[in-house]
Protein backbone atom coordinates (compact mmCIF):
# COMPACT_ATOMS: atom_id res chain seq x y z
CA UNK A 1 0.00 0.00 0.00
CA UNK A 2 1.20 3.50 -0.85
CA UNK A 3 1.28 5.05 2.63
CA UNK A 4 1.94 8.51 1.15
CA UNK A 5 -1.70 8.58 0.04
CA UNK A 6 -2.85 7.88 3.59
CA UNK A 7 -0.62 10.66 4.94
CA UNK A 8 -2.04 13.02 2.30
CA UNK A 9 -5.57 12.15 3.38
CA UNK A 10 -4.84 13.08 7.00
CA UNK A 11 -2.38 15.97 6.66
CA UNK A 12 -3.49 19.38 7.97
CA UNK A 13 -6.54 17.92 9.68
CA UNK A 14 -7.28 18.84 13.32
CA UNK A 15 -6.76 15.20 14.32
CA UNK A 16 -5.73 11.95 12.68
CA UNK A 17 -8.14 9.86 14.75
CA UNK A 18 -11.12 10.14 17.09
CA UNK A 19 -10.65 12.35 20.12
CA UNK A 20 -11.35 15.76 21.60
CA UNK A 21 -9.84 18.33 23.89
CA UNK A 22 -12.55 17.53 26.44
CA UNK A 23 -11.58 13.83 26.45
CA UNK A 24 -7.89 14.63 26.76
CA UNK A 25 -8.63 16.92 29.68
CA UNK A 26 -10.93 14.40 31.36
CA UNK A 27 -8.32 11.66 31.24
CA UNK A 28 -5.43 13.88 32.29
CA UNK A 29 -7.30 14.93 35.43
CA UNK A 30 -7.49 11.23 36.37
CA UNK A 31 -3.70 10.78 36.36
CA UNK A 32 -2.63 10.66 40.02
CA UNK A 33 0.59 11.91 41.51
CA UNK A 34 2.62 13.25 38.59
CA UNK A 35 5.80 15.09 39.59
CA UNK A 36 5.89 18.90 39.35
CA UNK A 37 7.88 18.76 36.11
CA UNK A 38 6.67 15.56 34.45
CA UNK A 39 8.27 14.04 31.37
CA UNK A 40 5.46 13.11 28.95
CA UNK A 41 5.82 11.09 25.76
CA UNK A 42 3.08 11.47 23.13
CA UNK A 43 3.41 8.43 20.84
CA UNK A 44 1.99 8.61 17.32
CA UNK A 45 1.15 12.24 17.97
CA UNK A 46 -0.06 13.14 14.48
CA UNK A 47 -0.52 16.88 14.10
CA UNK A 48 -0.63 17.20 17.85
CA UNK A 49 -3.95 18.62 19.00
CA UNK A 50 -3.65 16.56 22.18
CA UNK A 51 0.04 17.52 22.50
CA UNK A 52 -0.90 21.18 22.80
CA UNK A 53 -3.70 20.31 25.20
CA UNK A 54 -1.25 18.40 27.40
CA UNK A 55 1.11 21.38 27.43
CA UNK A 56 -1.73 23.60 28.59
CA UNK A 57 -2.88 21.10 31.20
CA UNK A 58 0.64 20.60 32.57
CA UNK A 59 2.50 23.88 31.96
CA UNK A 60 5.67 22.68 33.70
CA UNK A 61 5.90 19.44 31.74
CA UNK A 62 8.54 18.43 29.22
CA UNK A 63 6.57 16.91 26.35
CA UNK A 64 8.08 14.78 23.59
CA UNK A 65 5.68 14.18 20.69
CA UNK A 66 6.80 11.37 18.38
CA UNK A 67 5.64 10.54 14.87
CA UNK A 68 7.15 8.97 11.75
CA UNK A 69 5.70 11.64 9.42
CA UNK A 70 7.73 14.87 9.44
CA UNK A 71 4.90 17.17 8.23
CA UNK A 72 2.89 16.27 11.34
CA UNK A 73 5.78 17.38 13.53
CA UNK A 74 6.00 20.63 11.57
CA UNK A 75 2.31 21.16 12.35
CA UNK A 76 3.03 20.65 16.04
CA UNK A 77 5.79 23.24 16.01
CA UNK A 78 3.47 25.76 14.36
CA UNK A 79 0.65 25.03 16.79
CA UNK A 80 2.95 25.15 19.78
CA UNK A 81 4.30 28.56 18.76
CA UNK A 82 0.77 29.89 18.26
CA UNK A 83 -0.29 28.53 21.66
CA UNK A 84 2.77 29.91 23.45
CA UNK A 85 3.94 26.49 24.65
CA UNK A 86 6.77 25.77 22.20
CA UNK A 87 9.47 25.83 24.88
CA UNK A 88 7.86 22.83 26.57
CA UNK A 89 7.54 20.67 23.43
CA UNK A 90 10.40 18.85 21.66
CA UNK A 91 9.17 16.82 18.64
CA UNK A 92 11.06 13.68 17.62
CA UNK A 93 10.72 11.87 14.30
CA UNK A 94 10.79 8.14 14.96
CA UNK A 95 8.89 4.93 14.38
CA UNK A 96 6.82 3.57 17.23
CA UNK A 97 8.45 0.23 16.40
CA UNK A 98 11.77 1.55 17.73
CA UNK A 99 11.33 4.46 20.12
CA UNK A 100 14.81 5.94 20.82
CA UNK A 101 14.48 6.48 24.56
CA UNK A 102 16.18 5.00 27.61
CA UNK A 103 14.40 2.89 30.18
CA UNK A 104 12.39 4.87 32.70
CA UNK A 105 12.56 8.10 30.70
CA UNK A 106 8.93 9.17 31.10
CA UNK A 107 6.44 9.74 33.89
CA UNK A 108 3.50 9.50 31.51
CA UNK A 109 3.12 7.87 28.11
CA UNK A 110 0.21 9.20 26.05
CA UNK A 111 -1.13 7.52 22.91
CA UNK A 112 -4.41 8.76 21.46
CA UNK A 113 -5.51 6.69 18.50
CA UNK A 114 -2.07 5.26 17.74
CA UNK A 115 -1.40 2.03 19.60
CA UNK A 116 -3.46 0.04 17.07
CA UNK A 117 -0.66 0.60 14.53
CA UNK A 118 1.48 -2.03 16.26
CA UNK A 119 -1.30 -3.67 18.27
CA UNK A 120 -2.36 -3.08 21.84
CA UNK A 121 -0.57 -6.10 23.34
CA UNK A 122 2.67 -5.37 21.55
CA UNK A 123 2.51 -1.67 22.41
CA UNK A 124 1.83 -2.28 26.08
CA UNK A 125 4.78 -4.66 26.31
CA UNK A 126 7.27 -2.82 24.09
CA UNK A 127 6.72 0.65 25.54
CA UNK A 128 6.51 -0.41 29.19
CA UNK A 129 10.25 -0.15 29.75
CA UNK A 130 10.43 3.55 28.88
CA UNK A 131 7.81 4.40 31.52
CA UNK A 132 9.33 4.83 34.97
CA UNK A 133 8.17 2.30 37.60
CA UNK A 134 4.98 3.72 39.05
CA UNK A 135 4.48 5.94 36.02
CA UNK A 136 1.39 6.00 33.84
CA UNK A 137 0.15 5.04 30.40
CA UNK A 138 -2.96 6.68 28.90
CA UNK A 139 -4.20 5.52 25.51
CA UNK A 140 -7.27 5.12 23.35
CA UNK A 141 -8.15 1.91 21.60
CA UNK A 142 -11.03 0.61 19.49
CA UNK A 143 -13.29 -1.75 21.45
CA UNK A 144 -16.52 -3.65 21.08
CA UNK A 145 -19.51 -2.26 22.95
CA UNK A 146 -21.59 -5.35 22.09
CA UNK A 147 -21.09 -9.10 22.06
CA UNK A 148 -23.27 -9.41 18.95
CA UNK A 149 -22.15 -6.90 16.31
CA UNK A 150 -24.17 -6.53 13.13
CA UNK A 151 -22.79 -8.50 10.17
CA UNK A 152 -21.71 -5.33 8.34
CA UNK A 153 -19.77 -4.16 11.39
CA UNK A 154 -18.23 -7.55 12.11
CA UNK A 155 -17.04 -7.87 8.51
CA UNK A 156 -15.51 -4.39 8.53
CA UNK A 157 -13.48 -5.00 11.68
CA UNK A 158 -12.45 -8.50 10.64
CA UNK A 159 -11.03 -7.04 7.44
CA UNK A 160 -9.38 -3.99 9.00
CA UNK A 161 -8.49 -4.77 12.62
CA UNK A 162 -9.31 -8.34 13.59
CA UNK A 163 -7.60 -7.91 16.98
CA UNK A 164 -10.32 -5.56 18.26
CA UNK A 165 -11.42 -6.61 21.75
CA UNK A 166 -13.86 -5.56 24.43
CA UNK A 167 -12.71 -3.54 27.43
CA UNK A 168 -12.37 -6.65 29.59
CA UNK A 169 -10.06 -8.20 27.02
CA UNK A 170 -7.79 -5.17 27.02
CA UNK A 171 -7.75 -5.12 30.81
CA UNK A 172 -6.60 -8.74 30.86
CA UNK A 173 -3.77 -7.96 28.43
CA UNK A 174 -2.71 -4.91 30.46
CA UNK A 175 -2.64 -6.71 33.79
CA UNK A 176 -0.81 -9.68 32.29
CA UNK A 177 1.82 -7.23 31.00
CA UNK A 178 2.37 -5.87 34.52
CA UNK A 179 0.15 -2.80 34.63
CA UNK A 180 -2.50 -1.81 37.14
CA UNK A 181 -5.83 -0.65 35.77
CA UNK A 182 -6.80 2.80 37.05
CA UNK A 183 -9.80 3.92 35.03
CA UNK A 184 -11.37 4.09 31.58
CA UNK A 185 -14.25 5.72 29.74
CA UNK A 186 -15.72 5.57 26.21
CA UNK A 187 -15.26 8.47 23.82
CA UNK A 188 -18.57 10.05 22.82
CA UNK A 189 -19.69 9.90 19.19
CA UNK A 190 -18.90 13.61 18.85
CA UNK A 191 -15.20 12.78 19.32
CA UNK A 192 -15.37 10.86 16.05
CA UNK A 193 -17.17 13.58 14.12
CA UNK A 194 -16.14 17.08 15.19
CA UNK A 195 -12.38 17.07 14.54
CA UNK A 196 -12.02 13.85 12.56
CA UNK A 197 -14.73 12.51 10.25
CA UNK A 198 -16.37 15.84 9.42
CA UNK A 199 -13.12 17.44 8.16
CA UNK A 200 -12.34 14.26 6.19
CA UNK A 201 -15.75 14.33 4.53
CA UNK A 202 -15.09 17.91 3.42
CA UNK A 203 -11.75 16.86 1.91
CA UNK A 204 -12.86 13.71 0.08
CA UNK A 205 -14.27 15.29 -3.15
CA UNK A 206 -11.02 17.10 -3.92
CA UNK A 207 -8.97 13.96 -3.23
CA UNK A 208 -11.24 11.81 -5.39
CA UNK A 209 -10.72 14.28 -8.22
CA UNK A 210 -6.96 14.48 -7.66
CA UNK A 211 -6.56 10.69 -7.67
CA UNK A 212 -9.27 9.82 -10.21
CA UNK A 213 -6.76 7.82 -12.28
CA UNK A 214 -5.00 6.19 -9.31
CA UNK A 215 -6.63 2.84 -8.48
CA UNK A 216 -4.94 2.34 -5.12
CA UNK A 217 -5.83 5.84 -3.96
CA UNK A 218 -9.44 5.34 -5.01
CA UNK A 219 -9.53 2.12 -3.01
CA UNK A 220 -8.20 3.91 0.08
CA UNK A 221 -10.72 6.73 -0.27
CA UNK A 222 -13.57 4.27 -0.79
CA UNK A 223 -12.46 2.46 2.37
CA UNK A 224 -12.57 5.73 4.29
CA UNK A 225 -16.10 6.43 3.07
CA UNK A 226 -17.13 2.92 4.09
CA UNK A 227 -15.65 3.39 7.55
CA UNK A 228 -17.55 6.66 8.02
CA UNK A 229 -20.81 5.09 6.84
CA UNK A 230 -20.48 2.17 9.21
CA UNK A 231 -19.84 4.39 12.22
CA UNK A 232 -22.78 6.60 11.26
CA UNK A 233 -25.06 3.56 11.16
CA UNK A 234 -23.68 1.58 14.13
CA UNK A 235 -22.17 4.01 16.71
CA UNK A 236 -23.46 1.95 19.64
CA UNK A 237 -21.71 -1.28 18.62
CA UNK A 238 -18.08 -0.14 18.86
CA UNK A 239 -16.00 2.91 19.65
CA UNK A 240 -12.85 4.14 21.33
CA UNK A 241 -12.14 3.59 25.00
CA UNK A 242 -9.76 5.92 26.86
CA UNK A 243 -7.73 3.80 29.29
CA UNK A 244 -5.36 4.78 32.10
CA UNK A 245 -2.83 2.31 33.51
CA UNK A 246 -0.10 2.40 36.12
CA UNK A 247 3.25 0.77 35.37
CA UNK A 248 3.41 -1.80 38.12
CA UNK A 249 1.07 -3.06 40.80
CATH number of the domain encompassing residue 178:
3.40.50.150
Does the predicted TM-score (pTM) go above 0.85? yes
Write out the E strands in the chain.
39-43, 62-67, 92-93, 106-111, 131-144, 165-166, 179-186, 238-247
Domain count, the chain: 1
Residue 185 within a domain: yes
Q: How does pLDDT run across 119-132, given as a tens digit for each residue?
A: 999 999 999 999 99
Residue 22 within a domain: yes
Residue 225 within a domain: no
Residue 194 within a domain: no
Of 40, 249, 68, nearest to 130 by C-alpha is 40
Q: How does pLDDT run across 148-207, given as a tens digit for each residue?
A: 999 999 999 999 999 999 999 999 999 999 999 999 999 999 999 999 999 999 999 999
Rg (CA), the chain: 18
Residue 53 within a domain: yes
Residue 5 within a domain: no
Residue 63 within a domain: yes
Which domain does 27 fall in, by range? 15-189+236-247
Residue 94 within a domain: yes
Q: How does pLDDT run across 42-81, given as a tens digit for each residue?
A: 999 999 999 999 999 999 999 999 999 999 999 999 999 9
Instruction: Compute the distance between CA of residue 191 and CA of residue 225 in angstroms, rounded to an integer.
Output: 17
Amino acid sequence: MDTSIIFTLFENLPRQGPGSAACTRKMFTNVPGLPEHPAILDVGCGSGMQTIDLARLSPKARITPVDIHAPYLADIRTRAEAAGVAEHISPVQASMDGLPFKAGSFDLLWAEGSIFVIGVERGLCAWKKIIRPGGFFAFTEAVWFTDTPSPDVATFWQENYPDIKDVAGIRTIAETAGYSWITSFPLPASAWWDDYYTPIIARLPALEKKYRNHAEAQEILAGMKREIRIFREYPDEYGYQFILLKNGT
